[in-house]
Every structure is written in structure tokens, then in C-alpha cells.
């Protein structure tokens, strides 16, 4: 199960499918993978990783970020946390 499901939107609120999205927790950074569903344009990562994440996104010269995203779960799996990053610039 992915710990993170991230949507990226531009300044007009339109979803951005071609973005670089990274998540960092406890000094470890990973690149999130975009879904094959162009209707959702969602990026997934942090598979079975609990922790508090800082997420950054960029597309061209536009960037955005969120911090303090907490992923928890039960004994077996993480609970996926969905968030949206708004790009600026």
C-alpha cells in the first residue's frame, strides 16, 4: 500500500500530470511515481513507510511543497494519506 497519494495542481487548479514529486522522511528521499490514469494524475510513493513527510513538486519553473504529512497505519499496512500540492511560479 502506498503511504502517499499526491495530486499536483497549477495556479488555476488544473491537475498537472507531468511533474517531479519527491517525498522526504528521516533523511530518506524518494521520487513518487505517477499513475497510468491521466484522469487522476496522482503520484504514489512511500510504500509501507510510516513517518512524517515533506513533499516537493516541480513542473517547469513552477514549484510547491507541503510539510508535516503524517503516515500511520495498523499492524500490517500503512493508511494512505492523500494531499494536494499547488504549484507557484
pLDDT in tens, 36-87: 787 889 999 999 999 999 999 999 999 999 999 999 999 899 999 999 999 9
DSSP, res 35: P
For residues 69, 53, 21, 8, the Cα torsion angle rounded to the nearest 10 degrees is 10
Q: Would residue 46 be called left, alpha or beta, if left means φ above 0 and alpha means ψ between -120 and 50 degrees?
A: left
Q: For residue 88, how many other CB atoms are within 10 A of its CB?
A: 11
Which of the pair, 37 or 14, is modelled with greater confidence?
14
pLDDT band at 18 (very low <50, low <70, confident <90, very high): very high
Q: Please determine, for residue 88, whether its predicted confidence score (pLDDT) is greater than 80.
A: yes
pLDDT at 78: 96
* Spatial CA neighbour of 42 closest among 85, 89, 87: 85
Residue 37: its pLDDT value, please?
80
Contacts of 64 (CB under 8 A, 6+ apart): 8, 56, 57, 58, 85, 86, 87, 88
- Predicted pLDDT at 38: 76
Amino acid at each position: 500500500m502506498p503511504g502517499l497519494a499526491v495530486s499536483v495542481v497549477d495556479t488555476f487548479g488544473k491537475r498537472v500530470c507531468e511533474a517531479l514529486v519527491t517525498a522526504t522522511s528521516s533523511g530518506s528521499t524518494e521520487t513518487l511515481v505517477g499513475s497510468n490514469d491521466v484522469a487522476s494524475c496522482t503520484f504514489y510513493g512511500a510504500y509501507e513507510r510510516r513517518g512524517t513527510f515533506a513533499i516537493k513538486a516541480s513542473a517547469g519553473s513552477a514549484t510547491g511543497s507541503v510539510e508535516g504529512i503524517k503516515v500511520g497505519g495498523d499492524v500490517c499496512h500503512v493508511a494512505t494519506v492523500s494531499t494536494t500540492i499547488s504549484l507557484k511560479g
